[in-house]
Amino acid sequence: MGAAQSNEHAATPEELSYVLAERFATKCFTPLELTHFKDNFFSRASEQGGLRYWNEKTLSDFLGIPDGIHTSAQEQPLDAGPVIFRMVSYLGAFPFQNTLAPSVLTFEAMVKVVVLLTERYGKALKRGHKDRIKLLFGSLADVGRKMPVSTETETEAEAAAGEAGAGAGPGTSHAPGFSIDEPANDDYDEDEDDDLALAALESLDTIEVFKHDHRVDKTVYETRISVDTFRRLLMLLLVIAPLKPLESLKVYTAGLDAARMEDIQREADSIIAAFSPESDDGISYKTFARTVSLSLPYLFDPLTALFEHMLFSKNLNLSQHRQKGLVTEAETETEIEEPEKEQEPLPPPATIMLPGSFESTILTPTLTSHLSLFLPSSSSSQNLFRSGVKLHPVFSTNAHGSSLTSFSHHVLTWQSATLLILQGSSRDSPNDELITLGAYLPQTWKTNSTHTSSNTSDLLPCLFQLSPKHLLLPGNPSSSIKKPNTPPAYFSTTTGIAIGCQIPAPSRTQHNKPKPLGAGSLLIDGNLEIAEFHTAPVGHDGVFLPGTSPDSAPSKTVLDLYILEVWGVVPDPLAGSDSGSSAVEIQRAKWEFEAREAERRRNVNFKTSGADQSSNENARWILEAAGILGGSGR
């Protein structure tokens, strides 16, 4: 027993890292996936001194990451290859980033990378999701703290660094990269540093060694992500957001023209604005962790599908013993590749838009990708693309006019969740800045007398701004219980549309307008011409909660409304839900019924004589005014 403990205490970080990678491989991959992984890695690996590894070019070529795509000098190039390589080199050293990073991309390092980026760590790590954000921040951080340090502090920092690396073992060196001093974040928890690494090593009986000799690098709290680095990654994530695990990246990168690149950069800058970066210092860990967790929960989902490519090899013949995962490393090295076939034309990019009565002028592919980074679509809390939902066109002011009667005719017949989105220019902006707002409503729309129905979905509504700055106001789970007069969405032919407002009591003498309440509200007038967006830094009494980086004072933005669209959310029928198809069928049936009724009423035959012509015209006018007949559109 004592000898075993002595051997464990003598283990180096490299040895422990190797054992951890082996544990990840057996717990997080199936035998078939591991076989494909080995073939992909060893058939492309370079060798030096008996070490098999991948370099940056090999990684970028395999994943299909474009190399500096740009169409003009004014645009930010889509050059995320170096950023991805640096992230992978950092994650490959897990959980000894302070000692081993940047890591050589050996097979063992790549195993840990794929486990962490494809979210398969649940089988091996107890607190993986929470601390994955910390790892991702560390992999992107490239700016040191801009703080003067005295000579005494420098000496103390060097001594602390020496103590931290004292047990690294022979042949290792501690290179922190940045000065280590007292943490800058007030909410820094020292015990939290070791959470992720301790969970990883818990099953290896090496906790005591790790506690004393190898602490997670505290400089993750002292560094920042530069805006340029983050922008390059965001642009790639926006491009590949719809990517499926076995889909070629070229489907989404082949047709990037000047207009699309400009659109991508504009959306990336809107997202960066949500992190409130300081131009010189970049994005801090505290801001990064809070914003990603609360405002962009699916930000890194595209990397999951991208690195799933490692688990499928086109070289393997699945009809023989390889199906059982029995391919050896030697077999993968000598695998004979078939001659490349002629390149087939690329399929069209995936879309979540269903055909209907109009095509969107707001939901571009880039903006839809932006939505997928934060908008839930099902009770399983997956993003738009991964859940398989579709968007069905319901109403558009461009196609159906700026009439609340037309709005009620199209929207109130939809029997599922809806996505309302609008664009307009701010009246207070000197350059007519374009603002894009929206709301996700899990409830069905109802008339003004009953407001909205009770929420039968597990999801909460949310109010958001996409441009010029990303802002998410999540739903308040207690608002409908505490105040039933604050429905998520309210519709009235008199006052217009209200999202997240307090509805006044009905009155026979006057029409009281809804009032903004809580952290966020959206009001649209009865002519669908003006919208008011209200936000506040505090307020838990409304439908929506404050955003992650609210302004210091309540704000009111008045928009001249250009276009408003409503899209129905159709759940994936393969997921066992038929509510979406039912909503489409019900809506079509109601539209067809109303169309037949309108046609029948137009053909009402008034048996009249010349003397009764004027009275019959009066009768027709009464029927039209009541909405029973004719040209009012009802």
Q: Which residues contact 259 (CB under 8 A, 6 or more apart)?
A: none
Query: Model confidence over 320-329: pLDDT tens digits?
Result: 444 444 444 4
- The C-alpha atoms of residue 147 and residue 340 are separated, in whole angstroms, by 55
Q: Which residues contact 19 (CB under 8 A, 6 or more apart)?
A: 204
Spatial CA neighbour of 51 closest among 108, 96, 97, 12: 108
Query: Model confidence over 2-16: pLDDT tens digits?
Result: 444 444 455 677 888
Asked if 545 and 343 touch (Cβ cutoff 8 Å), the reply is: no
- The C-alpha atoms of residue 561 and residue 32 are separated, in whole angstroms, by 54
Query: Model confidence over 511-558: pLDDT tens digits?
Result: 788 999 989 999 999 999 999 999 988 878 889 999 876 556 788 999
- The C-alpha atoms of residue 218 and residue 176 are separated, in whole angstroms, by 9
Instruction: Tell me the sheet residues that pair with 515.
Output: 502
Instruction: Tell me the sheet residues that pair with 567.
Output: 393, 419
- The C-alpha atoms of residue 89 and residue 98 are separated, in whole angstroms, by 13
Asked if 415 and 587 touch (Cβ cutoff 8 Å), the reply is: yes
- The C-alpha atoms of residue 131 and residue 289 are separated, in whole angstroms, by 10
Spatial CA neighbour of 312 closest among 23, 24, 41: 41
Percent of the chain at pLDDT exceeding 70 = 64
pLDDT of residue 523: 96
How confident is residue 87, by pLDDT bands cut at 50, 70 and 90? very high
Query: Model confidence over 476-496: pLDDT tens digits?
Result: 887 655 566 888 999 888 889
Average pLDDT over residues 306-313: 93
pTM comes to 0.79
